[in-house]
Amino acid sequence: MASEITYAEVKFKNASPAAVVKVPPETKMCEHHPQKYPPWLPWLISLLLLLVCIGLAIALCVVPFSHSRDQPTALQQKFREWRCSSTMAQSKEQGWTCCPKDWKLFQGSCYYLSTDALSWVESGQNCTGMGSHLVVINSKAEQNFLSKEVKKNINGENYYIGLKAEEVGEWQWVDQTPFNETAAFWREGEPSNTDDEKCIVIHRVSSLPNNWNDIRCSKHHRICEAAAVTV
């Protein structure tokens, strides 16, 4: 008789389940695409650079004036447009000497030669209204400079300076500077020293440097003077 084989299912209590290996999903290759900029970006950059340039220009022209003095001069208060020239101070640092637009700079002063004619009183008032005064001439160099500038103009023949006589022959500068007869620049035969000619002008067509003439205080051109602004 053939032997019978019996099969039995056996379970072991401490047997560990089959290990499960987790396989990561396939890594996706990174694709490199060139970065695209909006078409308006170059225009924006150009605009920003322009604004920076304008800001620097304003800083160079305006900010120095705000620091030149604690209180701005009357001349600074009257004018917005200025012309500056470079100067070198004793400290070797670069500075700027400035005059209002259309004024002439010479040795630390600014000069305005008018294009219209006014009486002596009106001329003084006009200069004062601009933060200046009728010119006071202190040297031959200044006299020569102004005479050459006057000759460039064709608007008028006579230009008031800040010299007048309250009494005949008693000349007085508008800023109370004592009158020095040895530093005067009279035309030949002048002054007339008459009661009706108490105001002094530079006569444009006379030879340099002697071109002062006493004249009636009627309507003539004028030269205004103010200290230049240093920044």
Domain count, the chain: 1
Q: How high is the mean pLDDT of the chain? A: 81
Higher pLDDT, 186 or 5: 186
Would you say residue 14 lies in a domain?
Answer: no
Predicted confidence at residue 67, as pLDDT, reads 45
Domain span at residue 144 reads 63-230
| Least trusted range by pLDDT, from 75-79, 171-175, 220-224, 226-230 | 75-79
Q: How far apart are CA 221 and CA 165, in angstroms?
A: 18
Predicted confidence at residue 33, as pLDDT, reads 54
Per-residue tokens: 77? 């208060």
Would you say residue 44 lies in a domain?
Answer: no
Predicted confidence at residue 147, as pLDDT, reads 96
Would you say residue 123 lies in a domain?
Answer: yes
Residue pair 62/196 in contact (Cβ under 8 Å)? The answer is no
Would you say residue 13 lies in a domain?
Answer: no
Predicted confidence at residue 45, as pLDDT, reads 84
Q: How far apart are CA 148 and CA 153, in angstroms?
A: 9
Q: How far apart are CA 44 and CA 39, in angstroms?
A: 10
1: confidence class by pLDDT, cuts 50, 70, 90: very low
Q: Kindly tell me if the per-residue pLDDT of 23 is higher than 60.
A: no
Q: Kindly tell me if the per-residue pLDDT of 14 is higher than 60.
A: no
| CATH number, residue 88 | 3.10.100.10
Would you say residue 46 lies in a domain?
Answer: no
- What tens digit of pLDDT does each residue of 28-77 get? 454 555 556 677 777 888 888 888 878 766 555 544 454 445 567 788 88
175: confidence class by pLDDT, cuts 50, 70, 90: very high
Predicted confidence at residue 2, as pLDDT, reads 44
Q: Three-state SS across the chain?
A: CCCCCCCCCCCCCCCCCCCCCCCCCCCCCCCCCCCCCCCCHHHHHHHHHHHHHHHHHHHHHCHHHHHHCCCCCHHHHHCCCEEEEEEECCCCCEEEEEEECCCEEECCEEEEECCCCECHHHHHHHHHHCCCEECCCCCHHHHHHHHHHHHHCCCCCEEEEEEEEEECCEEEECCCCCCCHHHCCECCCCCCCCCCCCEEEEECCCCCCCCEEEECCCCEEEEEEEECEEC
- What tens digit of pLDDT does each residue of 124-165 get? 999 999 999 999 999 999 999 999 999 998 778 999 999 999
What is the share, in percent, of the chain residues with pLDDT greater than 90?
A: 56
231: confidence class by pLDDT, cuts 50, 70, 90: confident
Predicted confidence at residue 193, as pLDDT, reads 92
Would you say residue 217 lies in a domain?
Answer: yes
Predicted confidence at residue 134, as pLDDT, reads 98
Would you say residue 51 lies in a domain?
Answer: no
Would you say residue 211 lies in a domain?
Answer: yes
